[in-house]
Amino acid sequence: SQTIHQWPATLVQPVGSPLSLECTVEGTSNPNLYWYRQAAGRGLQLLFYSVGIGQISSEVPQNLSASRPQDRQFILSSKKLLLSDSGFYLCAWSVGDTEGSVNTDTEAFFGQGTRLTVV
Amino acid sequence: AQSVTQLDSHVSVSEGTPVLLRCNYSSSYSPSLFWYVQHPNKGLQLLLKYTSAATLVKGINGFEAEFKKSETSFHLTKPSAHMSDAAEYFCVVSDQGGSQGNLIFGKGTKLSVKP
């Protein structure tokens, strides 16, 4: 069966410090991978998605970046955190297709999330 | 552009009474629609999804939702609430015509269940 791991579960970082959140998926190959952010009182916002190694699409220009160094590894980073980066970050995966596109019919499977507080 | 509106930010019901969480969507194409549930500080779990098959969709934990194209609605219901249903619920839309696979989430409805 497929599983998704996301860590750490909670993180408190000072303004200006770097960030690295990691997500890995097991039990599937060539998944589509996503990073979402949930700010207080808001729905989830898609930050990045990836249909393959080294292929990253950014939905919202911001202080964050993403990388996919391996097929089932997705990393969210920042060089210098801002107060506004605080929120709940969720990694997700869905079944990829052979054409490298995203099938929006399929459900997304979410990690447990990381609560980031920037102080 | 597609969008989704959850009409209530907070719904409170008593245990054993019906649950209704409202969702309206806007989509240029035939939409796929989902309901996800999120328990505190946890990831999201899919409750059910509609992808142009039967308009009444049954999901896990006794939840169901009805796709009504004329009303552009996809309300989530359950006949009898349990304490364990207390969580935040998200209505989600995605366009089959879209190429980016962007799942558009509503702002969420927090469901409280009173004993």
Domain enclosing residue A47, as ranges? 3-118
Domain residue ranges of chain B, discontinuous segments joined by +: 3-114
Write out chain A residues lying below 8 Å of B98, CB-based. Answer: 104
- Which amino acid is located at A112 in the chain? Q
Of B48, B104, B99, which Cα lies nearest the Cα of A97? B99
Write out chain B residues lying below 8 Å of A102, CB-based. Answer: 99-101
DSSP one-letter code for B35: E
Q: Which two tokens stand for residue B32?
A: 């796929």
For an interface test with B, which of A45, A95, A99, A107 has the most B Cβ atoms less than 10 Å from its Cβ? A107
Report percent pLDDT > 90 for chain B: 58
Annotate B42-57 with b (16+ C-beta within 10 A) or e (fewer): bbbbbbbbbbeeeeeb
CA nearest to A97 within chain B: B101
Question: What mean pLDDT do residues A11-22 have?
Answer: 96
Q: What total of structural domains would you count in chain A?
A: 1
- Determine whether the interchain pair A59/B94 forms a contact, defined as Cβ–Cβ distance below 8 Å: no
pLDDT by residue (tens digit) across A40-65?
666 788 899 898 898 888 877 678 99
Question: What mean pLDDT do residues B32-47 have?
Answer: 85
pLDDT by residue (tens digit) across B58-108?
999 999 999 998 999 999 999 999 999 999 999 988 755 444 456 778 889
* pLDDT exceeds cutoff 90 at B110: yes
Q: Name residue, tokens 């080294």.
A: A54
| pLDDT the model gives residue B95 | 59
- Determine whether the interchain pair B103/A32 forms a contact, defined as Cβ–Cβ distance below 8 Å: no
| pLDDT the model gives residue A62 | 78
Please report which confidence band the pLDDT of residue A100 belongs to, taking 50, 70 and 90 as the band edges. low
Of A75 and A3, the one with more pLDDT: A75
* pLDDT exceeds cutoff 90 at B111: yes
Of A57, A87, A55, A84, which Cα lies nearest the Cα of A69? A55
| Mean pLDDT score of chain B | 87
DSSP one-letter code for B80: S
SS3 of B60, please? helix
**CATH number, position A59:** 2.60.40.10
Please report which confidence band the pLDDT of residue A102 belongs to, taking 50, 70 and 90 as the band edges. low
CATH superfamily of B3-114: Immunoglobulins (2.60.40.10)
- CA–CA distance, A54 with A70 (Å, rounded to integer): 8
Nearest chain B Cα distance for residue A85, angstroms = 17
| pLDDT the model gives residue B99 | 42
First-to-final CA distance of chain A: 38
Please report which confidence band the pLDDT of residue A15 belongs to, taking 50, 70 and 90 as the band edges. very high
Sequential DSSP letters for chain A: --EEEEE-SEEEE-TT--EEEEEEEES-SS-EEEEEEE-TTS-EEEEEEEEETTEEEESS-SS-EEEEEETTEEEEEESS--GGG-EEEEEEEE-B-TTS-B-TTSPPEE---EEEEE-
- Determine whether the interchain pair B101/A111 forms a contact, defined as Cβ–Cβ distance below 8 Å: no
